[in-house]
Structure 1
């Protein structure tokens, strides 16, 4: 029986790297306390992937996006109270 070679993990694509970066910002202690985060698209991040990520974030309930003149996007969220 032939052994298969170990799978080499594929590096994350542009969208995955962008999502991981933004997730770290949103999950930071300061952002969690303020229930807000300010994000910017980096020059090497594709505009299409940036737009896709913002669209997916905006689809969440209790989340508001505010587009700033400097290109940043302020994300605000409300954590609903449990009954």
Structure 2
């Protein structure tokens, strides 16, 4: 298998990994108390997968994404609970 095939096959997996990692962090009981979490993209996560997950979160009612820098965001959802 050549390298480009490996990269193409990795992208959907990376998207799923990013989503699962964020979901795990958001589900943490301590994070639930604060209703916000800061997450940094890991080096092994593709920038495309990272942006796709963030874009989908930004489109979700009640979730706010504050971009702290290119690879770091704060995800909050307090407004969703307060509504």
- Indicate the SS of the match to 1:68: strand
2:24 maps to 1:24: yes
Unaligned runs of 5+ in 1: 1-11
- Alpha-carbon deviation of 1:56? 0.6
- Alpha-carbon deviation of 1:30? 1.3
Distance 1:17 1:70, change over 3 A: closer
Which is richer in helix?
Answer: 2
- Alpha-carbon deviation of 1:70? 7.2
The number of residues matched between the two structures is: 70
Unaligned runs of 5+ in 2: 1-11
Q: Provide the TM-score with structure 1 as the length reference.
A: 0.75
- Deviating above 4 A after TM superposition, structure 1's stretches of 4 or more consecutive aligned residues are none
- Indicate the SS of the match to 1:55: helix
RMSD: 1.7
Distance 1:70 1:53, change over 3 A: closer
